[in-house]
């Protein structure tokens, strides 16, 4: 039907084929790194390739990665949510309270999810309703949410979660595939579709690239952002259920500092911290890489804090290297 | 008219020779030359995009030229930074007043070269005193200790001029200094320029307004498409000759206005007002009509249009579209109702740089190209192709980032974006500002075509030729109010200017 | 200068006064001069750090690595003292101030030369600096008995009625105030944050100015590193963990706009004092110290909401009669 209108100067849809573009993308670079890390690990330790060991390794990233999916959308839209770790803590505390009131597993899940969504709604209202900068608001709610956990728990801890609750963090769906890993995979697909295949995802990109123009173009900016913070809250609630179930206890200091790891994962996955670009598959790969590196260091008995140096260097260099590379190329071109 | 000056025999204050500058994909300046003489005003004339701003940025050390020579007082120099240009005595009063809202007036004047005491610390007392003195010299009664953000736009401009004077400059660049000034303020500025001339300053005066060029300038230089096409003494040239040099052809043929049968009223706006921006806006827009909104910059036209589509809330007023009362609270609702606004600031409000062309075009129409919220790329490409082709877009592919297009082609994408929503009323705010002549003609031709198809068009424009060439009817706004209404048949440039500036016929 | 930016500071003074009155109603002893001096002393380190963070935030950047920088410098100071007790304390202080400035300059260089967003840079260096402490110390603590008496005594030494720690913070306030209001570089911080585009036109190098702000925040973090370790007489990997948020909170409460260009030294000091009073008052008025975190979170949110209202740009004033009002 369109052929009839084609003038001689018709503009083609695409110049680069999608395959070609994929080949040059950040994600393919991450894939190479992931394969490298995997190979090095399997040479470095004979225990690495054991399926059960590998399965254990996934717990290093599944919870954080689930939050990272929602965080990726938030960051692409030009905002940030630093309160996710505190939402985990408050959610976990709320579930602990529910246990002490004698509730069973289904109710705990409702409480955990509900707390997460509520926290997300508070962030969303402050940011979109009052128009406050998200970085400061979520630094504030980061203190507030964890502070509430401290008020409720003090230096005590909730334990005594029902046996059936353990499934979320310790159960296996089939063979070595844990419930968390399956959940991670399901969310990876859901968020990929949401960001890359729906009108909502397109609106997220538009807002991140130029919020004013998006508003002028009829994008309901406030509503989209509110939903994004709601989603981050929800994902933090889900992560809280998994983590609490895995640990079997709640302390107010649970998941301390996780927000930085989540943001690192997102940025490593190729999402621009300034907003506007990035993909979910990139975040998935970044999650794998971080998880495998942590696991590899663990097998080699390298302490966790040294791992964190590595993550810090990685975070800066993945952003610095392309800049330096582009500059070097420009210099050569001249 | 000023008497003939002997500038041509004087020693020039600054000479630019064979200056070139390119940006990725654009050649902004190719081998231009410019000479400024002490005690003389040189008008730099050219359409938007002719390379004037680039030249100013090179003169003030913001950009580095790719080639060419700059000589100050006969010595070849370079301006690697803004500071080095200032040290060489070149200062500019910029188009968009580049000042600091949160700092005091005095500090805005002296930032970067504040007076210091013997310990090397900033001497606030002297700074405020000097600022007061400078403000008095430019004839502005402003307390130097108040914050800049508390000033109106005209006073901010005076601060910018005072800043230029605070650097004891030998070369003063004024980039459209009268754009935001009232009639009275413009005359004060003329007096100030006369005084600067008497002090022996060389002045580069950039303006689109020929009356003021002939009032104030001694010499002229005309730029077109990045090259210099003429220079000489103002006394030796007529306005028509300057326009011809600037445009490169006769003005009359630029506007492809087609006469269209004008139909019944489509949009009725009554009693529209806002606490600080505009009031008493009443008008009707008819089917197939192009309604021009003329006025000086800052007359409240864009503010009203943005309120019409729900960006800001009016304090009172009613809108009827096809006889039905509308309440519009957001651009999304306006688009749904069939009123679209193509904003003036293309880079900030129009194009989404970073997204490809087709995604820009389909953004407000996604509900039509998708199924239950899921994208359908084939439909998107088809819609984008249809509208970009109608506007004669030049691009390598529809998947290309909008940021890689020229200004004119970006504007075509932006217009295509809002047209693709199939509106009943389209508001075009300065639709040809800052785009090349070819794209301008394409936009004008397209505007005529739209009106011919029965679309109603509101065209906000500050360019008199465009208003006179395209509009069926013109509303003039001044200081937030409607200051005049004219039918096409009774339109003259003089009437428009008088209404916009608030000069009565008798004066 | 005097007329500018006063509104927010007065609001804060009123808020702190109201807080003190409320506390006094339940516990009159709190406002005794000796106790107030103790509260001030307890807040001194936060004040010093907030001054550095303010400079960075003014330029539209942020420094999340301050607490990690503090901890690293503190550890280095303690290690120098433990290994070479004979090194004079002023020399140790000088060394860690330089070290802090150097660590800050790494942030600054990455922001300046590579244009990496400040939040990413300092998020990265935050983990790197903390990790480096572990590498240096092997995770071991340096305890009070390993430090020389002079090392521990300096911040506590009384001088004209106040401990040296308090005097040092007073000195820092005075120095930064002078820097901010009376030197070109201080004014450049405001210009760069207020309108980076215009700053270029006035001949200010935006990147270099940001670099200098990071050097300042680093140097103050270095100084605080020594003060922290000597005051609490212990150094380990996790000292002042999470304190970067308290510092930012103090700045936000003090009216320093996260968008840059707005803020003042009195604001930063008052913001810190507000947090300091709350922290010290909680145990006195019988509220669990565990509530402190939630309270400061609430205060941050309220403060940013209040600031946003004050900064809200009025629409353009076009109508002449509206201008007259």
- ipTM for the assembly: 0.86
CA distance C130 to A304: 12
Q: Please give the tally of structural domains in chain A.
A: 1
HSE of A165 in the Cβ direction (CA atoms, 13 Å)? 30
B103 and chain C: CB distance < 8 Å anywhere? Answer: yes
Exposure of C193 by Cβ count < 10 A (0-12 exposed, 13-18 middle, 19+ buried)? buried
Of the candidates B82, B298, B479, the beta carbon closest to that of C203 is on: B82
* Domains of chain C by start residue, with CATH: 7-309 (1.10.3470)
Residue C94 has pLDDT above 90, yes or no: yes
Q: Which of C293, C303, C305 to mutate to probe the A interface, most A CBs <10 Å?
A: C293
- Residues A194-220, mean pLDDT to the nearest whole number: 96
Tell me which chain A residues have a C-beta less than 8 angstroms from the C-beta of C275: none
pTM value is 0.85
The two three-digit tokens of residue C306, written as one number: 């209040």
CA distance B56 to B223: 13
Interface of A with C in 239-298 (CB under 8 A): 252, 256, 260, 263-264, 267, 273-274
pLDDT, residue B507, reads: 39
The CA distance from B160 to the nearest CA of chain C, in Å, is 11
pLDDT, residue B36, reads: 92
**Pair type for strands B227-233 and B481-487:** unpaired
B101 and chain C: CB distance < 8 Å anywhere? Answer: yes
Answer whether A220 sits within 8 Å of B332, measured CB to CB. Answer: yes
Contact assessment for residue C78 and residue C137, using Cβ atoms and an 8 Å cutoff: no
Q: Provide the phi-psi class of A261: left if phi over 0, else alpha when psi is between -120 and 50, else beta.
A: alpha
Q: How confident is the model at residue C311 (pLDDT cuts 50, 70, 90)?
A: low
Answer whether B350 sits within 8 Å of A213, measured CB to CB. Answer: yes
Contact assessment for residue A134 and residue A76, using Cβ atoms and an 8 Å cutoff: no
Identify the bridge partners of residue B172 per DSSP, sorted by sequence position.
B91, B203
Q: Which of A79, A122, A139 to mutate to probe the C interface, most C CBs <10 Å?
A: A139
Q: How confident is the model at residue A8 (pLDDT cuts 50, 70, 90)?
A: very low
The CA distance from A2 to the nearest CA of chain B, in Å, is 7
Kindly list the domain boundaries of chain B, sorted by start residue.
Answer: 7-249, 263-338+423-507, 349-422
Give me the total of CB pairs closer than 8 Å, taking one residue from chain B and one from chain C: 111
CA distance A330 to B7: 45
pLDDT, residue B360, reads: 95
* Nearest to A286, CA basis, from A70, A33, A104, A7: A33
Chain C positions touching chain B (beta carbons under 8 Å): 1-5, 178, 181-184, 187, 190-191, 194-195, 197-198, 200-205, 261-262, 313-320, 322-323
Exposure of A256 by Cβ count < 10 A (0-12 exposed, 13-18 middle, 19+ buried)? middle
Q: How confident is the model at residue A5 (pLDDT cuts 50, 70, 90)?
A: very low
CA distance B60 to C108: 27
The two three-digit tokens of residue C190, written as one number: 């405001």
pLDDT, residue A11, reads: 79
The two three-digit tokens of residue A324, written as one number: 């330096």
CA distance A87 to A234: 9
Give me the total of CB pairs closer than 8 Å, taking one residue from chain A and one from chain C: 138
Of the candidates B331, B373, B382, the beta carbon closest to that of A215 is on: B331
The residue written with tokens 């011919």 in the block is: B452
**Pair type for strands B227-233 and B456-460:** unpaired
pLDDT, residue C315, reads: 57
DSSP B4: P
Higher local confidence (pLDDT), A128 or B120: A128
CA distance C253 to C247: 10
The two three-digit tokens of residue B244, written as one number: 């011809």
Q: Provide the phi-psi class of B176: left if phi over 0, else alpha when psi is between -120 and 50, else beta.
A: left
pLDDT, residue B1, reads: 39
Tell me which chain A residues have a C-beta less than 8 angstroms from the C-beta of C120: 267, 273, 315-316, 319
The CA distance from C206 to the nearest CA of chain B, in Å, is 12
CA distance B111 to C202: 7
A242: containing domain:
49-320
Tell me which chain A residues have a C-beta less than 8 angstroms from the C-beta of B355: 205-206, 209
In a domain, A289, yes or no: yes
The two three-digit tokens of residue B147, written as one number: 């914050």
Identify the bridge partners of residue C262 per DSSP, sorted by sequence position.
none
A326 and chain C: CB distance < 8 Å anywhere? Answer: no
Answer whether A218 sits within 8 Å of B334, measured CB to CB. Answer: yes
Domain B263-338+423-507 in the same topology as domain B7-249: yes
Q: What's the topology of domain B263-338+423-507?
A: Rossmann fold (3.40.50)
**Pair type for strands B290-295 and C162-163:** unpaired
Residue A330 has pLDDT above 80, yes or no: no
Q: Which of A309-323, B146-160, B402-416, C160-174 has the highest mean pLDDT?
A: C160-174
Q: How confident is the model at residue A4 (pLDDT cuts 50, 70, 90)?
A: very low
Residue A6 has pLDDT above 50, yes or no: no
CA distance B280 to B304: 11
**Pair type for strands B339-342 and B425-429:** parallel
Answer whether B480 sits within 8 Å of C323, measured CB to CB. Answer: no
CA distance B266 to A244: 62
Interface of B with C in 282-341 (CB under 8 A): 298-300, 303, 312
CA distance C7 to B192: 37
A302 and chain C: CB distance < 8 Å anywhere? Answer: no
Higher local confidence (pLDDT), A228 or B33: A228
B396 and chain A: CB distance < 8 Å anywhere? Answer: yes
- Rounded alpha-carbon distances, angstroms, from residue C161 to B498, C31, C47, C151, C246: 74, 17, 20, 20, 28
Residue A3 has pLDDT above 50, yes or no: no
CATH number of B7-249: 3.40.50.300
Residue A195: give its domain's CATH number. Answer: 1.10.3470
DSSP A292: H
**Pair type for strands B265-273 and B227-233:** unpaired
CA distance A195 to A215: 19
Q: How confident is the model at residue C234 (pLDDT cuts 50, 70, 90)?
A: very high
Tell me which chain B residues have a C-beta less than 8 angstroms from the C-beta of A3: none
Q: How confident is the model at residue C323 (pLDDT cuts 50, 70, 90)?
A: very low
Q: What dihedral do alpha carbons C39, C40, C43, C48 form, nearest 10°?
A: 180
CA distance A141 to B283: 49
Higher local confidence (pLDDT), C312 or B6: C312
CA distance B89 to B75: 13
* Nearest to B352, CA basis, from A134, A11, A216: A216
B375 and chain A: CB distance < 8 Å anywhere? Answer: yes
pLDDT, residue B3, reads: 43
CA distance C31 to C20: 7
B100 and chain C: CB distance < 8 Å anywhere? Answer: yes
pLDDT, residue B326, reads: 92
CA distance B408 to B431: 10
The two three-digit tokens of residue B492, written as one number: 């003259």
C286 and chain A: CB distance < 8 Å anywhere? Answer: no
Residue C248 has pLDDT above 70, yes or no: yes
Residue segments in chain B with a per-residue pLDDT below the cut of 70: 1-9, 24-26, 48-49, 95-98, 179-183, 247-254, 434, 436-437, 503-507
Tell me which chain C residues have a C-beta less than 8 angstroms from the C-beta of A140: 249, 252, 297-298, 300-301, 304
Instruction: Enumerate helices (H) and strands (E) in chain C, giving the number of each.
Output: 14, 2
pLDDT per position as a tens digit, C5-41: 457 788 889 989 998 998 888 888 888 999 999 999 9
- Identify the sign of the CA torsion B402, B404, B406, B409: negative
Q: Which of A130-144, A201-215, C286-300 has the highest mean pLDDT?
A: A201-215
A138 and chain C: CB distance < 8 Å anywhere? Answer: no
In a domain, A16, yes or no: no
The distance from CA B504 to its chain's CA centroid, rounded to whole angstroms, is 26
């Amino acid at each position: 039907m369109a052929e009839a209108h084609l003038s001689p100067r018709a503009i083609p849809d695409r110049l680069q084929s999608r395959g070609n573009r994929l080949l040059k993308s950040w994600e393919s670079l991450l894939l190479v790194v992931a394969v490298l890390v995997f190979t090095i690990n399997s040479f470095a330790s004979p225990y690495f390739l054991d399926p059960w060991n590998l399965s254990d390794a996934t717990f290093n990233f599944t919870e954080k990665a689930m939050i990272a999916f929602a965080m990726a959308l938030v960051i692409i839209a030009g905002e940030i949510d630093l309160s996710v770790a505190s939402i985990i803590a408050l959610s976990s505390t709320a579930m602990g309270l529910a246990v002490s009131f004698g509730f069973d597993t289904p109710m705990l899940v409702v409480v955990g999810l509900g707390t997460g969504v509520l926290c997300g709604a508070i962030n969303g209202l402050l940011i979109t309703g009052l128009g406050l900068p998200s970085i400061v608001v979520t630094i504030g709610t980061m203190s507030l949410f964890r502070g509430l956990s401290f008020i409720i728990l003090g230096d005590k801890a909730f334990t005594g979660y029902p046996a059936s609750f353990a499934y979320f963090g310790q159960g296996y769906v089939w063979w070595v595939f844990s419930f968390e890993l399956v959940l991670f995979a399901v969310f990876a697909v859901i968020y990929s579709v949401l960001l890359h295949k729906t009108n909502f995802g397109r609106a997220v990109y538009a807002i991140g690239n130029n919020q004013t123009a998006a508003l002028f173009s009829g994008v309901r900016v406030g509503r989209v952002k509110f939903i994004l913070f709601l989603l981050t809250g929800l994902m933090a609630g889900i992560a809280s259920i998994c983590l609490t179930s895995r640990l079997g206890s709640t302390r107010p200091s649970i998941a301390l500092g996780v927000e930085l790891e989540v943001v690192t994962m997102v940025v490593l996955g190729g999402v621009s911290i300034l907003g506007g670009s990035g993909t979910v598959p990139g975040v998935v790969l970044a999650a794998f890489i971080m998880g495998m590196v942590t696991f590899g260091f663990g097998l080699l008995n390298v302490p966790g804090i040294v791992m964190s140096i590595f993550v810090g260097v990685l975070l800066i260099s993945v952003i610095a290297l392309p800049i330096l590379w582009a500059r070097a190329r420009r210099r050569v071109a001249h | 008219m000023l008497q003939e000056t002997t500038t041509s025999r004087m020693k020039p204050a600054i000479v630019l020779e064979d200056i070139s500058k390119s940006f990725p994909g654009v050649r902004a300046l190719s081998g231009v030359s410019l000479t400024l003489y002490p005690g003389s005003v040189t008008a730099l004339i050219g359409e938007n995009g002719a390379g004037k701003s680039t030249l100013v940025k090179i003169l003030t050390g913001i950009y580095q030229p790719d080639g060419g020579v700059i000589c100050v007082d006969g010595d070849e120099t370079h301006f690697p930074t803004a500071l080095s240009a200032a040290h060489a005595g070149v200062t500019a009063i910029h188009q968009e007043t580049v000042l600091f809202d949160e700092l005091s007036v005095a500090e805005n004047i002296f930032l970067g070269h504040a007076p210091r005491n013997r310990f090397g610390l900033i001497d606030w007392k002297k700074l405020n005193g000097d600022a007061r003195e400078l403000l008095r010299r430019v004839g502005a009664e402003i307390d130097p200790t108040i914050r800049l953000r508390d000033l109106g736009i005209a006073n901010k401009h005076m601060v910018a001029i005072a800043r230029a004077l605070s650097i004891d400059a030998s070369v003063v660049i004024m980039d459209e200094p009268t754009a935001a000034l009232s009639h009275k303020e413009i005359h004060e500025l003329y007096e100030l320029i006369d005084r600067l001339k008497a002090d022996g300053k060389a002045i580069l005066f950039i303006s689109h307004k020929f009356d003021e060029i002939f009032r104030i300038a001694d010499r002229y230089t005309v730029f077109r498409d990045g090259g210099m096409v003429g220079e000489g003494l103002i006394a030796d040239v007529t306005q028509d000759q300057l326009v011809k040099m600037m445009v490169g052809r006769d003005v009359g043929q630029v506007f492809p206005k087609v006469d269209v049968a004008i139909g019944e009223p489509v949009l009725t706006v009554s009693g529209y007002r806002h606490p600080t921006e505009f009031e008493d806006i009443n008008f009707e827009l008819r089917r197939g009509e192009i309604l021009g909104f003329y006025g000086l910059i800052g007359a409240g036209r864009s503010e009203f249009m943005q309120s019409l589509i729900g960006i800001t809330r009016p304090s009172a007023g009613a809108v009827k579209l096809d006889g039905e009362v509308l309440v519009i609270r957001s651009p999304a609702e306006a688009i749904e109702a069939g009123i679209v606004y193509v904003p003036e600031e293309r880079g900030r409000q129009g194009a989404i740089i970073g997204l490809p062309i087709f995604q820009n075009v389909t953004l407000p129409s996604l509900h039509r190209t998708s199924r239950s919220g899921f994208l359908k790329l084939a439909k998107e490409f088809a819609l984008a192709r249809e509208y970009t082709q109608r506007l004669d877009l030049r691009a390598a592919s529809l998947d290309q980032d909008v940021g890689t297009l020229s200004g004119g082609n970006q504007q075509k994408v932006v217009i295509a974006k809002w047209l693709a929503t199939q509106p009943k009323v389209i508001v075009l705010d300065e639709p040809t500002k800052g785009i090349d002549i070819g794209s301008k003609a394409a936009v004008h031709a397209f505007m005529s075509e739209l009106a011919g198809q029965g679309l109603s068009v509101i065209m906000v424009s500050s360019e008199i030729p465009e208003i006179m060439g395209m509009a069926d009817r013109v509303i003039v706004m001044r200081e937030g109010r409607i200051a005049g209404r004219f039918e096409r048949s009774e339109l003259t440039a003089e009437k428009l200017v008088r209404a916009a500036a608030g000069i009565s016929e008798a004066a | 200068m005097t007329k500018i930016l006063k509104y927010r500071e007065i609001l804060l003074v009123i808020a702190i006064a109201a807080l003190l009155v409320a506390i006094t109603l339940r516990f009159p002893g709190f406002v005794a001069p000796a106790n107030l001096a103790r509260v001030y002393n307890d807040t001194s380190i936060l004040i010093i750090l907030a001054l550095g963070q303010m400079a960075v935030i003014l330029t539209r950047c942020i420094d999340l690595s301050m607490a990690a920088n503090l901890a690293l410098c503190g550890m280095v100071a303690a290690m120098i003292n433990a290994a070479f007790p004979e090194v004079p304390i002023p020399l140790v202080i000088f060394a860690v101030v330089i070290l802090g400035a150097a660590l800050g300059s790494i942030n600054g260089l990455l922001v300046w030369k590579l244009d990496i967003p400040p939040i990413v840079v300092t998020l990265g260096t935050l983990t790197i600096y903390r990790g480096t402490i572990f590498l240096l110390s092997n995770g071991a603590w340096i305890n009070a008995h390993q430090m020389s008496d002079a090392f521990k005594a300096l911040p506590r030494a009384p001088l004209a009625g106040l401990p040296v720690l308090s005097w040092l913070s007073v000195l820092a306030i005075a120095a930064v105030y002078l820097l901010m209001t009376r030197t070109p570089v201080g004014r450049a911080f405001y210009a760069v944050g207020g309108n980076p585009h215009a700053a270029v036109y006035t001949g200010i190098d935006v990147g270099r100015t940001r670099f200098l702000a990071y050097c300042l925040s680093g140097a103050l973090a270095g100084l605080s590193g020594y003060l922290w370790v000597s005051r609490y007489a212990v150094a380990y990997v996790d000292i002042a963990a999470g304190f970067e948020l308290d510092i930012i909170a103090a700045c936000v409460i003090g009216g320093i706009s996260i968008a840059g260009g707005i803020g003042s030294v009195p604001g930063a000091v008052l913001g810190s004092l507000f947090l300091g009073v709350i922290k010290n008052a909680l145990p006195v008025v019988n509220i669990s110290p565990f509530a402190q975190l939630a309270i400061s979170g609430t205060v941050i949110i309220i403060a940013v909401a209040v600031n946003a209202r004050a900064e809200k740009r009025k629409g353009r004033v076009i109508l002449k009669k509206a201008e007259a009002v």
